[in-house]
């Protein structure tokens, strides 16, 4: 004969795959019950042998997903009747005092998909899963569910829906999940805002950069100015001469999707820390209220 317990978990538990983790943990320990988001915390009702409930409580913090941060687990008895199985239920409203995690860089598994010609997300820029992808930049409210993100307007295709609903899949309840058939797309515009009809906008953008063009790359959190320069070390020397204090860098990136790029962190005179990323050796920096583009070939700026 088992017993029941309610667990209230607080911390960074929104948008980090915490509910799917709880589901898998309950399956492993053969517990029945449910898990749901409620405001800025997660509420779990679990039923089973006392030893299994104790192990469940301990694992909530020790085995939490890598992006989660468990601040506290509060346990109280739950006298309700034991249900059949364990399920993830619809989120409940509640007071919000903690936000979701920041956007997370693409994980190795998703990078492998992007690079695999046989994968349906081959070269798809918006590939993500529960361990990576946009969070803060797309959220519109809490609890963190797809309906409360900017992805709400992108209806899942059957293949993405199957991943989203499969507890064994790493995209189980990954709110930004998408693919070329149902998700956001890339496109290229000219300086006047007119769409350019290129089948591969990434390849064309790279060609234009290589030819000396300047691109404003719109990401999930704003725009990044991208262009080539010949020597990022000379760019650093220029910043030093202008009194722009370099914090760290230039730092070459040797592997991953940013291989060949160079990152330079610097402090503007008015106190704002900025990050310049070369493509592979281009940079932009902010001076006053404007963005200043610089190249060794045009050193007067």
Q: Which of 184, 199, 234 is the last residue of a domain?
A: 184
Q: Which of 60, 88, 116 is the last residue of a domain?
A: 88
Q: Is the pLDDT of residue 84 over 70?
A: yes
Q: Is the pLDDT of residue 146 over 60?
A: yes
Residue 144: which of 36, 8, 14, 22 has the closest Cα?
14
Predicted confidence at residue 114, as pLDDT, reads: 92
Max CA distance (Å), the chain: 80
Q: Which of 34, 68, 88 is the last residue of a domain?
A: 88
CA–CA distance, 139 with 11 (Å, rounded to integer):
17
Same domain, 289 and 194: yes
Question: Which pTM was predicted?
Answer: 0.61
Same domain, 238 and 168: no
Q: Please check whether residue 10 lies inside any domain of the structure.
A: yes
Residue 163: which of 109, 85, 236 has the closest Cα?
109
Same domain, 239 and 251: yes
CA–CA distance, 133 with 192 (Å, rounded to integer):
30
Of residues 99 and 76, the one with the higher pLDDT is 76
DSSP readout, 164-233? HH-TTSTTTT-TT---TTTS----EE-TTSPEE--S-HHHHHHHHHHTT--EEEEETTEEEEE---S-HH
Q: Is the pLDDT of residue 268 over 80?
A: no
Q: Please check whether residue 300 lies inside any domain of the structure.
A: no
Same domain, 206 and 288: yes
Q: What is the 3-state secondary structure (H, E, C) of 241-293?
A: HCCCEEEEEEEECCCCCCCCCEEEEEECCCCCEEEEECCCCCCEEEECCEEEE
Out of 92-101, 138-147, 222-231, pick the least confident. 92-101
Domain residue limits at 61? 3-88
Residue 138: which of 124, 128, 148, 129 has the closest Cα?
148
For the segment 272-284, the average pLDDT, to the nearest whole number, is 47
Of residues 97 and 49, the one with the higher pLDDT is 49
Model pLDDT for residues 157-205, shown as the tens digit of each residue: 999 999 998 877 889 888 899 999 999 988 999 888 899 888 888 888 8
Q: Please check whether residue 93 lies inside any domain of the structure.
A: no
Q: Is the pLDDT of residue 264 over 80?
A: no
CA–CA distance, 275 with 224 (Å, rounded to integer):
10
SS3 92: strand
Same domain, 68 and 131: no
- CATH number of the domain to which 54 belongs: 3.30.70.100
- Binned at pLDDT 50, 70 and 90, residue 92 comes out as low
Same domain, 34 and 108: no
Predicted confidence at residue 290, as pLDDT, reads: 53
Same domain, 132 and 195: no
Q: Please check whether residue 298 lies inside any domain of the structure.
A: no
Contact assessment for residue 262 and residue 244, using Cβ atoms and an 8 Å cutoff: no
Same domain, 192 and 245: yes
Q: Please check whether residue 94 lies inside any domain of the structure.
A: no
As for how many domains the chain has, the answer is 3
What separation in angstroms does the CA of 101 have from each of 18, 67, 90, 150? 12, 7, 21, 16
Predicted confidence at residue 219, as pLDDT, reads: 64
């Amino acid at each position: 004969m088992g017993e029941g317990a309610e667990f209230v978990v607080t911390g960074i538990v929104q948008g980090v795959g915490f509910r799917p983790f709880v589901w898998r943990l309950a399956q492993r320990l053969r517990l029945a019950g449910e898990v749901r988001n409620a405001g800025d915390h997660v509420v779990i009702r679990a039923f089973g042998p006392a030893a299994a409930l104790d192990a469940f409580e301990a694992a909530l913090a020790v085995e939490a997903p890598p992006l989660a941060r468990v601040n506290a687990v509060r346990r109280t008895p739950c006298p309700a009747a034991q249900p059949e199985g364990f399920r993830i239920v619809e989120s409940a409203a509640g007071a919000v005092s903690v936000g979701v995690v920041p956007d997370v860089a693409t994980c190795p598994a998703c990078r492998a998909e992007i690079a695999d010609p046989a994968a349906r997300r081959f070269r798809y820029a918006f590939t993500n899963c529960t361990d990576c992808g946009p969070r803060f930049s797309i959220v519109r409210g809490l609890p963190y569910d797809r309906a409360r993100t900017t992805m709400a307007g992108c209806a899942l295709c059957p293949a993405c829906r199957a991943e989203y609903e499969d507890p064994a899949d790493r995209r189980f309840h990954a709110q930004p999940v998408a693919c070329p058939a149902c998700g956001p797309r890339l496109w290229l515009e000219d300086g006047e805002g007119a769409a350019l009809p290129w089948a591969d906008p990434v390849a064309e953008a790279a060609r234009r950069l290589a030819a000396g063009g300047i691109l404003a790359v719109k990401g999930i959190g704003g725009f990044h100015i991208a262009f080539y320069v010949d020597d990022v070390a000379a760019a650093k020397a220029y910043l030093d001469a202008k009194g722009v204090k370099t914090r760290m860098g230039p730092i070459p990136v040797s592997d991953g999707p940013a291989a060949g790029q160079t990152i330079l962190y610097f402090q503007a005179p008015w106190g704002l820390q900025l990050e310049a990323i070369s493509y592979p050796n281009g940079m932009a920096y902010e001076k006053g209220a404007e963005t200043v583009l610089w190249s060794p070939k045009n050193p007067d700026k």
